[in-house]
Chain A
Amino acid sequence: MSENKMNRRSFLQASTVLGVGSVVGASALLASCKDGNALVPLKNPGEFYVPELPDMAIDGRELKVGVIGCGGRGSGAVKDLLAAANNIKVVALGDVFADRMGGLQRDLNKNHGQNIPDDKCFLGFEAYKQVVDAGVDMVILATPPAFRPVHFQYATQKGKHSFMEKPIAVDAKGYRTIMASAKQAQAKNLSVVTGTQRHHERRYVEANKQIQAGLIGEITGGNVYWNQSMLWYRNRQQEWSDMEWMIRDWVNWTWLSGDHIVEQHVHNIDVFLWMSGYKVAKATGFGSRQRRVTGDQYDNFSIDFEMENGVHLHSMCRQIDGCSNAVGEIIYGTKGVYSSFDNTIKDLKGNVLWKYDDEAAKAEFKQHNPYVLEHVDWVNHIRKGTMHDEATECAISSLAGVMGRESAYTGRTITWDEMSKSDMDLMPAKLELGDMDMESYKVAVPGKTR
């Protein structure tokens, strides 16, 4: 959601008040007389967010950034930020593991000319507070997702701009924390970007413009996929405590990652919700654990999402070796079909109505990496002082993923109202690198798990 986004209804109200409604209505009527196939926009330009995606962010005052979570994604994100904008200074790091933090500290020093002194490298579960309070303007939140809500809450309280890696919630409590903090961030004019980078990927942004212009008509359904080979895991090492093992192996534990339907597949669910503007009402699905090695997660899900207006979205995701792989989205409309697999929109006879023009884009821009472009947009909002909120949309998509997961885990249909109000809170009571009640982490059994 952003400052210039206006929903369809409020636009209609406003335009009616202005007396514009009748003019617009009349011209639409005239247009349809001339041409029976005139496009009816889902949203008019200005009613939906279109990021400006120059190769680099605008220049401006120095921005100080802190990184919370120095693993693969945190390290990647800070380097993407440095590629996206000039005059960025990394001033503080935080992590629970000295080796991961030390690695990033040395890398930034050696390869990026960023010298972070040892006393600005904070260790432990409370390190996020020290990073936020270390004089930063902005923070990259890239720990395992379970911790995201409290980190965002704190950063927002302290008036910092956040970049949050997705997903941003793994349970209902986290969802609510994000939603409330997002409202506070809006009030404080903060810029918040989330790692659902398709929102900053040129081919998706262009496709969305076509869809909103009405090229596929009213949206009637969708299929979204993230089927891939097995993801990484870490075997336990002798010197590791239960907690240390879990966090180092986090993509295999539901309380940390949300399971792969939330952790990874949220991207694709999010694309459908983003482009359709529909709200999820119910999820019914199944999944299982076939060949995952560690943790308590499943490795495949198949979910039927029902929207408030009755439209269905089918979602499937898998992390198993030796199977057919596919990652992408298909959206059906009354007049055509959009596919992100070949970046086309076809009419219902299969004729190509639109195709993303890769060559033209390459001629116009140098930077095409969405992981960099999302930081360009983030910094631009900060430097221009314009409020930007992606947290609300990403929290809703994350909770939709959680609904899918819970419907598969329990074997029941899960409603949005039930999920969003649920007291589900997966965070352990005690956060320390010590023993955990490992017996309580069991693989869910549909029909039995509640």
Chain B
Amino acid sequence: MSEKKKNKKLIFLGALAIVVAGFSLIIAFNWAWDKSSLNDSCMSCHYHTDADINWKQSVHYNSQSGTKTDCAACHLPPRGTMDYTKAKLSAGVKDVWSYLTKDKEDINWDAKGELEYARKIVYNESCEACHVNIYPEGISDEGVTAHLYYDDNKASGDQHCINCHLDAGHYNPNYKHAALTEAPKGSGVVYEAAAEVTSFENYVETVPGTSAAISMIAIPGGEFEMGSPESEPFHEADEAPQRRVEVSRFFMGEMEVTWDQFWAFYGETMSEGRTPPMVIYANNSREDVDAVSGPTPPFGFPDQGWGMGDRPAITMTHYSAETFCQWLSLKTGKKYRLPTEAEWEYAARGGTTGAYFFEGKPKKYSNEGFWNGLFGADTAYINSYAIYVNNSQSRTQEPSLVQANPFGLKNMLGNVMEYCSDWYAEDAYSQLSDGAKDPKGPEFGTEHVVRGGNYTSDAAELRCAARSHTQHDEWLRTDPQNPKSIWWYSDIKGIGFRVVCEVPEGI
């Protein structure tokens, strides 16, 4: 064999080897690429028995046709798209990082099942890749209405399949694709008369004709520094400048208004569905109104399946909360209303001047920051006083789990955000003068003040001085009704309220 021929042969063999190696690599990569999107692969790290079981109980496994829908079919964009590749790579990196740095026992899987998070890991395009006809034979008129609304509005990006079909992939016995038919009944005791208040002491309001009892705390009047200094960690511009404010005495609900209390109101005042808002506004704003018009039936179950009873009532609008106070005043002959922002902060501080009414610093408690992000935030003290992101299990909790503040009020910080009567303005405090007495906030506005953070909040948002406000349109984004409800929000869960009662004259 000549040298030349030998060389040619070598070149040929070398080329062949490269091609074979290339193909092998592609095949191996493809195998790994596919394999890593199989359920076994997902479940090898996503070790969360509940999710596996409730997937098998869901319509995507336990289906009429006997087909199952795999993890990646919902939790990744449709195969063969660029989005699929991107999402798979970023999920992969995140998973490896979590695998190396986190303890899987500490991962809150429940929280990831809540709509806010689930929207990020379920893709409409993937739903539609299988569900090519969202008007199947036998679909109800309600279903057609909702799906036409989805089709008309999906371009705006607000519509997500799981807004309505949250339990499609993971069965949840508490999630019902249905609506509340009547107000849940209370304890069965029916009060005959409202509480008589003869001195400035704590009392329990009993609402005549219902089983609602509201524990009220006497809050002595006084002065305090409203807002926070720039030196306070996580201080925001709208908390400044600090102002010395005087607040007259008042009574305040020990707890956020509970479902039992709210259903008593709903049961007595419910308006028929589709009652035009104008009719309701007209009735409730009459001087001589003797029976208020209350909420229309909510869409679905407003407690989110978390339980009712003493848990705070949630998802009602500011108008709904104000109407509750109007009803309570009519029923008891007292003057109930929402707290002003000044009253709220005064009550939350309970005479303290720090970031919280309990011990500890925001930087220690917050999950923000490199150190806490890596090794976890301190939870001593705060755990006993507030329901927030690190201890809430992604839902509201009963007030019995926390201790009261120095005034005897529970859950001022955390659990649910609370409505104040003030309009929100970022510069509200600049408009105040030092020494103002019982300020009521700006005269006009578009959104109301909400305070105290909620069960999803980081400790930074739980500071006594931290301010927030309603986001009316955003919180009604997916309400399919027209006009949208004036009673119930569709896209916010951690919002509630507590009442204050003005001190009757002569006490």
Q: Indicate whether B446 reaches chain A with its CB closer than 8 angstroms.
A: no
B188 at the interface (CB under 8 A from A): no
A166-215 residues with Cβ-Cβ distance < 8 A to B are 173, 176-177, 179-181, 183-184, 186-187
Asked if A180 contacts B482 (CB within 8 A), the reply is no
Closest to B138 in A: A157
Within 8 Å of chain A (Cβ to Cβ): is B281? no
With contacts A176-B141, A176-B144 taken as known, whether A418 is within 8 angstroms of B482 at the C-beta atoms is: yes
Whole-angstrom CA separation of A177 from B148 in the bound complex: 11
Separation in Å of the A190 CB from the closest CB of chain B? 13
Are A184's CB and B135's CB within 8 A?
yes
Cross-chain contact of B148 among A176, A181, A423 (Cβ < 8 A): A176
CA distance A187 to B148 in the complex (A): 17
Q: Which residues of A contact B274 (CB under 8 A)?
A: 423
Shortest CB–CB separation between residue A228 and chain B, in angstroms? Answer: 33
Contacts of B106 in A (CB 8 A): none
Partner of A179, one of B132, B148, B482: B148
Please state if A417 and B149 are interface contacts (CB–CB under 8 Å): yes
Are B148 and A157 interface neighbours, CB within 8 A? no
Q: Say yes or no: is A421 at the interface (Cβ < 8 Å to chain B).
A: yes
Confirm or deny: A415 has a beta carbon within 8 angstroms of a beta carbon on chain B: yes
Please name all residues of chain A whose beta carbon is closer than 8 Å to the beta carbon of B480 when the two chains form the complex: 421
Known: A179-B135, A420-B149; 13 extra A-B contacts, CB below 8 A, are: A157-B137, A176-B141, A176-B144, A180-B139, A180-B144, A180-B147, A184-B135, A415-B482, A417-B149, A418-B482, A420-B152, A421-B148, A421-B482
Contact A420 B141 (CB under 8 A): no
A184 in contact with B148 (CB, 8 Å): no
The answer to whether B133 and A417 have CB atoms under 8 Å apart is no
Is B430 engaged at the interface, CB distance under 8 Å to the other chain? no
Residues in chain A near residue B147, CB distance under 8 A: 180
> A417 CA to B482 CA in the complex, in Å?
7
Please tell me if the beta carbons of A417 and B145 are within 8 angstroms of each other in the complex.
Answer: no
In the A-B complex, the 9 residue pairs with the smallest Cβ-Cβ separation, listed nearest first, are A180-B135, A183-B135, A176-B144, A418-B482, A180-B144, A417-B482, A187-B133, A421-B145, A183-B133
With the chains together, A416 CA to B480 CA distance in Å? 13
List residues of chain B with CB under 8 Å of any chain A CB.
132-137, 139, 141, 144-145, 147-149, 152, 274, 480-483
Looking at A173, A179, A186, A416, which has the most chain B CB atoms within 10 Å of its CB? A179
Classify chain A's interface size. Answer: 10 to 19
List residues of chain A with CB under 8 Å of any chain B CB. 157, 173, 176-177, 179-181, 183-184, 186-187, 415-418, 420-421, 423
**Which residues does chain A contribute within 8 Å of B149, judged by CB atoms?**
417, 420-421
Q: How far is A183 from B483 in the complex, measured between Cα atoms in Å?
A: 28
Asked whether, in the complex, the Cβ of B141 is within 8 Å of the Cβ of A173, the reply is yes
> Which partner residue on chain A sits nearest B149 by CB separation?
A421
Quick one: closest B residue to A157, CB to CB? B137
Distance A420 CA – B150 CA, assembled complex (angstroms): 12
A sample of 23 inter-chain contacts (CB < 8 A) reads A157-B137, A173-B141, A176-B144, A176-B145, A177-B144, A180-B135, A180-B139, A180-B147, A183-B134, A184-B133, A184-B135, A184-B136, A184-B137, A186-B133, A417-B149, A418-B483, A420-B152, A421-B145, A421-B148, A421-B480, A421-B481, A421-B482, A423-B274
Q: How far is the CB of A140 from chain B (nearest CB, A)?
A: 22
User: How far, in angstroms, from A184 to B135 measured CA to CA in the complex?
Assistant: 7
CA distance A431 to B141 in the complex (A): 20
| Residues in chain B near residue A179, CB distance under 8 A | 135, 144, 148
Contacts of A176 in B (CB 8 A): 141, 144-145, 148
Complex alpha-carbon distance, A415 and B149, angstroms: 13
Residue of B nearest to A183 (CB): B135
B144 — which chain A residues lie within 8 A by C-beta?
Answer: 176-177, 179-180
Cα A416 to Cα B152 with chains together (Å): 10
- For B155, the closest partner residue in chain A by CB is A9
Give Cα A183–Cα B141 distance, bound, in whole angstroms: 14
List chain B residues, Cβ under 8 A from A173: 141
> Which residue in chain B gives the minimum CB-CB distance to A279?
B152
Q: What residues of chain B lie closer than 8 Å to A415, measured between beta carbons? A: 482
A179 to B133, CA, bound (A): 12
Residues of chain A within 8 A of B145, CB atoms compared: 176, 420-421
Tell me, rounded to whole Å, the shortest Cβ–Cβ distance linking A244 to chain B.
29
Determine the distance from Cα of A187 to Cα of B131 in the docked complex, in whole angstroms: 12
B36 smallest CB distance to A (angstroms): 26
Contact across chains for A177 and B141 when beta carbons are under 8 A apart = yes
* A156 smallest CB distance to B (angstroms): 8
Q: Among A173, A177, A180, which residue has the most Cβ atoms of chain B within 10 A? A: A180
Name the residue on B nearest A176 (C-beta).
B144
How far is the CB of A284 from the nearest CB of chain B, in Å? Answer: 16
Q: Tell which of B135, B274, B480 has the most Cβ of chain A within 10 Å.
A: B135
A420 touches B136 (CB 8 A): no
Chain B residues near A416 (CB, 8 Å)? 152
A423 closest partner in B (C-beta) = B274
B-chain residues with CB within 8 Å of residue A183 when the two chains form the complex = 133-135
B141 touches A417 (CB 8 A): no
Nearest Cβ in chain B — how far from A396, in angstroms?
11
Question: CA A416 – CA B134 in complex, angstroms?
Answer: 21
CA of A416 to CA of B136 in the docked complex: distance in angstroms? Answer: 23
Cα distance A187–B137 in the bound complex, in angstroms: 10
Q: Of all chain B residues, which has the CB nearest A184?
A: B137
Residue in B closest to A417 when the chains form the complex, CB atoms: B482
Q: Which residue of B lies closest to A17 (CB)?
A: B82
C-alpha spacing A420/B274, complex, angstroms: 15
- Chain B residues, CB < 8 A from A423: 274
Residues of A within 8 A of B152 (CB): 416-417, 420
Which of chain A's residues has its CB closest to B82's CB?
A17
Closest chain-A Cβ to B86's Cβ sits at a distance in Å of 16
User: With the chains together, A420 CA to B480 CA distance in Å?
Assistant: 11
Enumerate chain A residues within 8 angstroms of B148, measured Cβ to Cβ: 176, 179, 420-421
Task: Give the complex CA separation of A187 and B134 in angstroms.
Answer: 11
Q: Which residue of B lies closest to A182 (CB)?
A: B135
In the assembled complex, the Cα of A303 lies from the Cα of B139 at a distance in Å of 34
B364 to chain A minimum Cβ distance, whole angstroms, is: 49
Per the bound structure, the CA–CA distance linking A187 and B132 in Å amounts to: 9
Q: How far is the CB of B278 from chain A (nearest CB, A)?
A: 11
Q: How far is the CA of A416 from the CA of B148 in the complex (A)?
A: 11
In the bound assembly, the distance between CA atoms of A416 and B274 in angstroms comes to 17
Q: Which residues of B contact A186 (CB under 8 A)?
A: 133
- Kindly state the separation between the CA atoms of A416 and B149 in the bound complex, as whole angstroms: 10
Question: A421 contacts which chain B residues (CB < 8 A)?
Answer: 145, 148-149, 480-482
- What CA separation (Å) do A371 and B231 show in the bound complex? 81
Roughly how many angstroms separate A418 CA and B480 CA in the complex, as a whole number? Answer: 10
Q: Which of B145, B147, B149, B480 has the most CB of A within 10 A?
A: B145
Report the bound CA distance from A379 to B202 in whole Å. 83
**In the bound complex, CA of A173 to CA of B141 (Å):** 7
Closest to A172 in B: B145
Closest to A418 in B: B482
Complex alpha-carbon distance, A258 and B145, angstroms: 20
Chain A, Cβ-Cβ closest to B481: A421
Closest-by-CB residue of A relative to B274 is A423
| A183-B481 Cα distance, complex, nearest whole Å | 23
How far is A286 from B149 in the complex, measured between Cα atoms in Å? 27
**Bound complex: CA A421 to CA B133 (Å):** 20
Contacts of B481 in A (CB 8 A): 421
| Complex Cα spacing A415 to B152, Å | 13
Per the bound structure, the CA–CA distance linking A184 and B139 in Å amounts to 11
Q: How far, in Å, is A188 (CB) from chain B's closest CB? A: 9
| Least distance between A280 CB and chain B CB atoms (Å) | 11
Tell me the bound Cα distance from A329 to B144 in angstroms.
33
Q: Shortest distance in angstroms between A173's beta carbon and chain B's nearest beta carbon?
A: 6
Report Cα–Cα, A177/B480, bound state, in Å: 18
Minimal beta-carbon separation of B141 from chain A (angstroms): 6
Least distance between B136 CB and chain A CB atoms (Å) = 7
Residues in chain B near residue A181, CB distance under 8 A: 135
A417 to B152, CA, bound (A): 9
**How far apart are A305's CB and chain B's nearest CB, in angstroms?**
17
Docked Cα-Cα span, A225 to B282, in Å, equals 41
Give A182 Cβ to nearest chain B Cβ, in Å.
8
Nearest A residue (CB) for B276:
A450
Which B residues are in CB contact (< 8 Å) with A420?
145, 148-149, 152
